[in-house]
Amino acid sequence: MLRFGIVCLLFVLSCPGGLFGGGTPKILLVNSDARLEKYEEAGDGFKKALLHPVFEVRVDEKKWTLSHIEELIYDEDPELIYCIGTKAYLIANKYARKTDRIFSSIINWMRLPRTERTFGVSNELHPGMQIMLFRHIFPHVKKIGVLYSREYNSQWFERSQEQAKDMDVEILGQAISGEENNVISSLRGLLPEVDALWLISDPVIMSNNTSFKEVLKECDQRKIPVFSYHDSFVKYGVTLILSVDNPTIGRQAAGIALEVLAGEKMEEKVQYPAGSHITLNLNKVKDYGLEYNADALASVNRIIE
């Protein structure tokens, strides 16, 4: 029976579309690390929204070595690959450059190598929209500080500076190397010049929990509000959080996939996330004595008080 089962499995794998299902587009999902909740949520959203079966590769699993993934792509020749995270995208870009690729959950996608077959959903919400929200809730915030690494966020920072000018806001930044002492010393030089700190998603700045807490401690001592991107940060005293919705990102990627498979022309190859969630820590606002627009609270999804 065991030998029969192995023979049957080999037969299925040898048939066209054996892994993907016959008669449907071959769609491969490559997940950089399914242990990360945001990656798993995006993947689930993609699979549920798509009208076709999906074969998934989880790069964090030992069975999926680079050679195995290369063989899979070569043998099956998928029509489309959805890449979650940087590692997944770089693998697909290396072994499937002639295949349509959609990415998500990547910090600053503009640093990626891309071709005419590259599509995606940005990891970050539109910076102009975020700045507009900051000003809507806190009209007196005119100077916003940002800590960032050139490696990951130089393009994002320049774009944000340009868009802020249209809203009479100045973005002041400090590019840092990532050493903990460098982060805090740069922050101390920045805080006297700004009305708020915009703590962005950057693996150099957010390299460890200790550095993250030290940044918040420095801001708290000076009563400088912190704007950031993840709901879990509210328990650490972040004032305003504008977060993306990961399942929505997956569904958005699925929508792009369907358009690509249908041969439709995509005017906007990389889209900003469609869903967002706003959390305001009103306790911190009152503790700092910040002036805020009470009418703007109607647009906030969650208020902590």
Strands, sheet with 270-271, edge to edge from the N-terminal-most edge strand: 55-58, 27-31, 80-84, 100-104, 118-121, 270-271
Cα distance between residue 224 and residue 238, in whole Å: 10
Percent share of the chain, pLDDT over 90: 72
**Averaged pLDDT score across all residues of the chain:** 89
pLDDT exceeds cutoff 60 at 74: yes
pLDDT at 122: 94
pLDDT at 18: 54
pLDDT at 108: 83
Cα distance between residue 131 and residue 128, in whole Å: 5
pLDDT exceeds cutoff 80 at 7: no
pLDDT exceeds cutoff 50 at 4: no
Dihedral over Cα of 293, 295, 299, 300: its sign: positive
pLDDT exceeds cutoff 50 at 270: yes
pLDDT at 15: 45
Summarised one tens digit per residue, pLDDT across range 192-204 is 999 999 999 888 8
pLDDT at 239: 96
Cα distance between residue 215 and residue 35, in whole Å: 27
Residue 78: CB atoms within 10 Å: 23
pLDDT at 9: 39
pLDDT at 276: 87
pLDDT at 178: 58
pLDDT at 8: 41
| Cβ–Cβ < 8 Å for 42, 249 | yes
pLDDT exceeds cutoff 50 at 89: yes
Summarised one tens digit per residue, pLDDT across range 230-268 is 888 988 999 999 999 999 999 999 999 999 999 998 889
Residues 67-88: what's their mean pLDDT?
Answer: 95
Q: Give pTM, 2 decimals.
A: 0.82
Paired with 278 in beta bridges are 242
Residues 32-50: what's their mean pLDDT?
Answer: 95
pLDDT exceeds cutoff 90 at 273: yes
| Cβ–Cβ < 8 Å for 194, 218 | no
* String of DSSP letters for the chain: -HHHHHHHHHHHHHSTTTTT-TTS--EEEEES-TTSHHHHHHHHHHHHH-SS--EEEETTSTT--HHHHHHHHHHH--SEEEEESHHHHHHHHHH-TTSEEEEES-S-GGGS---TTEEEE-SS--HHHHHHHHHHH-TT--EEEEEE-HHHHHHHHHHHHHHHHTTT-EEEEEE----HHHHHHHHHHHGGG-SEEE----TTTTSSHHHHHHHHHHHHHTT--EEES-GGGGGGT-SEEEEE-HHHHHHHHHHHHHHHHTT---S-SEE--S-EEEEEEHHHHHHHT----GGGGGG-SEEE-
pLDDT at 59: 95
pLDDT at 14: 44
pLDDT at 69: 95
* Location of structure tokens 């349509």: 100
DSSP strand pairing (226-228 vs 170-175): unpaired
Summarised one tens digit per residue, pLDDT across range 111-133 is 889 999 999 999 989 999 999 99
The domains found in the chain, sorted by start residue, are 2-124+247-271 (3.40.50.2300), 127-228+276-304 (3.40.50.2300)
Q: Which residues fall within 8 angstroms of residue 45, CB to CB, at 6 or more apart?
A: 246, 247, 248, 249, 250, 251, 253, 254
| Cβ–Cβ < 8 Å for 242, 133 | yes
Summarised one tens digit per residue, pLDDT across range 163-201 is 999 899 999 999 987 565 588 889 999 999 999 999 998
pLDDT exceeds cutoff 90 at 55: yes
Query: Considering only CA atoms, which of 177, 166, 161, 243 is closest in space to residue 211?
Result: 177
pLDDT exceeds cutoff 70 at 19: no
